[in-house]
């Protein structure tokens, strides 16, 4: 049975840091490799998300490539042709670029606006404490595992 994001507690399950473990895409930025962490940060409580590519281990905090987005979780009121209305997260990419290390309370960053000429979304098909399976608007399938060792507030830049 597909995930139902309108169910009680579903948004809390969705919130957090997820690592891409498999993708049906050939795109290099959707690859899974031991020398890169491919993270997706989801904060539906704030209407925010971020895709983050960075080196693993002690070098991880030094730099990364990020794309920030605003997200909206459908509440199920979409028109009846939207079969996936209760499992869809609308994504609006806003800016992307380089994220550097923290210096005190601030984080060095060089982010520019992103033009998104098409609507983007994720259909969440499986969601539990550890695993998220989803399909993107281009038909790409994703398998992600929760990263409980990483804190959302440490990685997601202040709005």
Q: Phi/psi at 13 (nearest 5 deg)?
A: -65, -35
What is the pTM for the complete model shown?
0.88
Mean pLDDT calculated for residue range 52-71 = 90
Give 64-76 pLDDT, tens digit per residue. Answer: 999 999 999 976 5
- Looking from the CA of 55 toward its CB, the CA atoms found within 13 Å total 9
Give the domains, in start order, of the chain with CATH numbers.
Answer: 10-154 (2.40.128)
Q: How many of the other CB atoms lie within 10 Å of CB of 155?
A: 20
Is the alpha carbon torsion for 32, 153, 146, 44 positive or negative? negative
Residue 18: what pLDDT?
98
Give 91-138 pLDDT, tens digit per residue. Answer: 999 999 998 888 887 888 888 998 888 889 999 999 999 999 999 999
Of the chain, the percentage scoring pLDDT greater than 90 comes to: 60
Q: How many of the other CB atoms lie within 10 Å of CB of 146?
A: 17
Q: Can you tell me which residue has the tokens 């509440």?
A: 75
């Amino acid at each position: 049975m597909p995930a139902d994001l309108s169910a009680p507690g579903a948004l809390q399950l969705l919130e957090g840091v997820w690592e891409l473990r498999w993708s049906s895409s050939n795109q290099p930025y959707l690859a899974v490799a031991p020398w890169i962490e491919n993270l997706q940060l989801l904060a539906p409580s704030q209407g925010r998300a971020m895709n983050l590519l960075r080196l693993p281990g002690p070098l991880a905090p030094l730099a990364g490539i990020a794309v920030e987005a605003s997200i909206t979780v459908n509440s199920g009121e979409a028109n009846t042709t939207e079969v996936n209305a209760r499992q869809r997260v609308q994504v609006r990419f806003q800016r992307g670029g380089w994220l550097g290390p923290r210096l005190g309370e601030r984080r060095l960053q060089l982010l520019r606006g992103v033009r998104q000429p098409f609507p983007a979304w994720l259909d969440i098909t499986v969601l539990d404490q550890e695993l998220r399976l989803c399909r993107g608007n281009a038909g790409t399938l994703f398998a992600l595992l929760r990263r409980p060792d990483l804190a959302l507030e440490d990685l997601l830049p202040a709005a």
